[in-house]
Amino acid sequence: MTPRAPSSKIVSREELVEEFGDLQSGTLVFANGCFDVLHPGHVAYLDRARSLGDMLVVAVNTDASARGLGKGSGRPFVPQADRALMVAALESVDAVCLFDEDTPADLIAELLPDVLVKGADYALDAVAGREVVEAAGGRVELIPILEGYSTTELLRCIREPTR
């Protein structure tokens, strides 16, 4: 099988809902995040998410949405189109869509995935879209975080290298 070009996996919200919403067969998994500086923790998280179903779609915060999350001055470092392309380049990811809201709750309600995933650093009741997914018969999975990897930790190492 020929690998798909990462750019072909980046779709509009409308295309995502049309292609993956109301899926007739298979298990759809939904993940979201900023993915500002892609690192092994992100790769492990998305790989684990994909193992929970047949297809994985990832919603990536736009630059404006990411700035609203209070991650710090100058964030995101990587522009939204580049972040989406990096996530789309992962073999585990079937489609990527940008979202501009504070949370992807509306997109999740439109798509109604079978499995909604977030990192285990989230409390279950804080997962955007949880109620609508569970009401539709889906489930929420909290995926353990790969220790030692976070964008914040990478930035600290860059700013304060050990000698």
Q: Which helix (H) or strand (E) holds 13?
A: helix 13-20
DSSP string of 144-161, one letter each residue: PP-TT--HHHHHHHHHS-
Question: What does the pLDDT read at residue 72?
Answer: 64
pLDDT tier, 73 (very low <50, low <70, confident <90, very high otherwise): low
Q: Give the CA diameter of the chain.
A: 56
Contact 94, 55 (CB under 8 A): yes
User: 3-class DSSP state for residue 52?
Assistant: coil
pTM score: 0.91
> How many Å separate Cα 106 from the centre of its chain?
15
* Per-residue pLDDT tens digits for 15-46: 999 999 877 789 999 999 999 889 899 999 99
Buried b (16+ CB within 10 A) or exposed e, 141-153: bebeebeeebbee
Does residue 163 carry a pLDDT above 60? no
Task: Look up residue 65 and give its two tokens.
Answer: 């949405």
34 by DSSP, 3-state: which?
A: coil
Residues 96-146: tens digit of each pLDDT: 999 999 999 999 999 999 999 999 988 999 999 999 999 999 999 999 988
What does DSSP assign to residue 127? S
pLDDT-derived band at 89, boundaries 50, 70, 90: very high
Q: Residue 105 has what pLDDT?
A: 97
Q: What are the structural domain ranges in the chain?
A: 6-159
Write out the two tokens for 33.
């995040």
**6-159 topology per CATH:** Rossmann fold (3.40.50)
